[in-house]
Structure 1
């Protein structure tokens, strides 16, 4: 009698586990689907690398955390992460020293984002500043970036480019400032 009592919970557990396996298999969600769905809900991280010859100023208008703001000397980088529910996850501006930029534009504004529906994207543009704060615009004009996609601008002696990197714990982007 005690043998059959011990046996029944094992049978019940085995039947339950078999049923769970059948239901999980019928849901149509493979491991790769699940990973893709999780990646679609990730926040964004952007690292700004100053490979140029001059010091620039980095200012974030929207971010959850950042490693640093302010002056970024040649060879240094600043990273920021964001997880906003709507709009841009991270955005800000890079201000160039006026004497170093021969163009009328002396600031580059940027936005990176990962919408709940759709693919992540990035946007960069130029502004003219003369002693005023940058007008940081959250723009989602360039959506649907695939890994390895790049965009950039050249103004006078400087090139600013942004590239989407492979996903990690974040949707990853790098913005590089370099000589033209």
Structure 2
């Protein structure tokens, strides 16, 4: 009886790669290019899944890749958002005041409409150690972008690794 290999480990690997490429400084710059770090995580999850399928006669489908990328993206979105809140709590710096200071030093002025929001976020940082408004917004943004681009990377991985799998399997 052919049973499909467990997808939990590839999902965890994909989420771990997405999280590392999104949290660490300099590595996170790869996400400037259409969330490439997130797509690489989905691609890597499919790679690990294809390694599990290598010794079986089970073909890899785009549904498998899509699910691996989607679940990796959801898990990575939760982890990255959690790390963002944790970094805010551990940091003693208010990023809103730093941003205003840097913009003033550069000669840019913040419009008065924006200044009220910046002051609100700054008060949240001073009160809680992080901004709940920014944390909630970034969580929802991550919950949209990470599964989307993780699935795209995983589906690309399926097209790459299923061709290799088909060329290795005897007809």
Q: Return the TM-score normalized by structure 1.
A: 0.25
- Structure of higher CA gyration radius: 1
Of structures 1 and 2, the one scoring higher in RCO (CA 8 A, sep 6+) is 2
Q: Return the TM-score normalized by structure 2.
A: 0.26
